[in-house]
Amino acid sequence: MKKSILTALFAATAFCGFSQEKEAETSKFSFSGYIDSYYMLNFNNPSSRSNLGASGYERAFDQKSNQFSLGLVQTKFGYTTKNSDVVVDLTFGPNADLGQYGNVIGPLGAGKASTSLAIKQAYFNWKASDKLTLTVGQFGTHIGYEVIDAPVNYNYSLSNLFNNGPFYHIGAKANYAFSDKFSTMVGLVNNVDNLNDNNSSKGFIYQVFTSPAAGWNVYVNGISSNESAPLASGKDDSGSYNLLDLTTSYQVTPKYLVGLNAAYGSQTGDFQGGGSVGDSKTWGGVALYSNYAFTDKFSLGGRYEVFDNTAGARALRAADGSGTDVSSLTLTATFTAADGHLLIKPELRSDSYKTAQFVDGDGKDQKSQTTLGLHFIYKF
């Protein structure tokens, strides 16, 4: 009898050990991140040492001029198994605060410290099948060509399309891959760029991906959401927010990549700072991208963008609060050093508005702004 018990215990122990070994074989822990900093020269020589103009939204993250500035510090943790993975993406610094601005009001209320501000992403994926993946948590938006992560974008400065679109969502989404060339995603999220929803309605997000040819990727993205605060009666206001986005890139040759981002949005209500309920306003823009890798250590890229907010739907406004539009040209070189860890990016950018948006060092109004920056990104 004792021999049978010992045999059973030995078998159970061996099985547990085998299970743990199998789990170790199929699971993986990862840690990565980056830091970035820059020096920006503004040819308008503004006394404010700022690239921000009349509305304060003329630039997204590279806001400071004529000084050295810290950008963002990322610490990204990942754990992957055969059928699931989890991502905890924590960021710190000025650009982190700007990127997660909607998380500033935490459980303790406005004006109180909130660790939520450090959360860029925190989500898990469950691979329910070879084709279906469920994601729940806080995750970066699916909309747009560019992302917050500086090493991923070719240009250091971010487009107006990025700056005026969603940054992140909190909710749940499901992705179904019909093949490696076609997939769809749908999800429900809280209101745009906020830790806590401001009403009982939920936003609907969606994406359709297709790859018509080798090296050519096409994404049609969208969100439809009620962003208005509840009325005094307790019912949700009828304000709406809708954005349709097209993102596509084509690898023309192993060295040459072209891309395009186009978006059109509409909204009603006063949740974006102006306009009465039922007052519908639109905005939109197009950005073209071109990147050429001369060697594995040097590449050159450009972005040309037009962004129209003449209706005053978004926060990019003229000095009198009315809407405006802008055309921007950005040229960026990338030098790769330190075994691929260090990216050095000199960048020249010019923004031209139809209205006076800036004040130069002599106190004169200017419709345009040209900046020259030197950016350093170290990734690990």
d(CA 170, CA 204): 12
In-domain check, residue 59: yes
Residue of 240, 236, 222, 141 whose CA lies nearest to 184 = 222
Residue of 89, 244, 202 whose CA lies nearest to 152 = 89
pLDDT for 308 beyond 70: yes
pTM (2 decimals)? 0.87
- Residue labelled with tokens 């709406």: 240
**What's the pLDDT at 193?**
87
Q: Look at the alpha carbons of 334, 339, 340, 341 in this order and tell me if their dihedral is positive or negative.
A: negative
In-domain check, residue 8: no
pLDDT (mean) for 301-314 = 95
High-pLDDT (> 90) share of the chain, %: 76
pLDDT (mean) for 291-313 = 96
The 10s digit of each residue's pLDDT in 10-44 is 444 444 444 455 555 578 999 999 999 999 999 99
The 10s digit of each residue's pLDDT in 19-28 is 455 555 578 9
d(CA 163, CA 112): 26
**Contact 347/372 with Cβ under 8 angstroms?**
yes
Number of structural domains (the chain) is 1
Burial of 328 (0-12, 13-18, 19+ CB in 10 A): buried
How distant, in Å, are the alpha carbons of 1, 5, 22, 312 from that of 8? 11, 5, 21, 74
pLDDT for 7 beyond 80: no
Tally of CA atoms within 13 A in the half-sphere of 377 that contains its CB: 25
In-domain check, residue 282: yes
In-domain check, residue 89: yes
In-domain check, residue 4: no
Residue 22: both structure tokens together: 């199998």
In-domain check, residue 289: yes
**Contact 84/124 with Cβ under 8 angstroms?**
yes
**Domain range for 258:** 26-379
In-domain check, residue 20: no
When pLDDT is cut at 50, 70 and 90, the band that residue 232 belongs to is low
In-domain check, residue 171: yes
CATH number of the domain encompassing residue 266:
2.40.160.10
Tally of CA atoms within 13 A in the half-sphere of 300 that contains its CB: 3
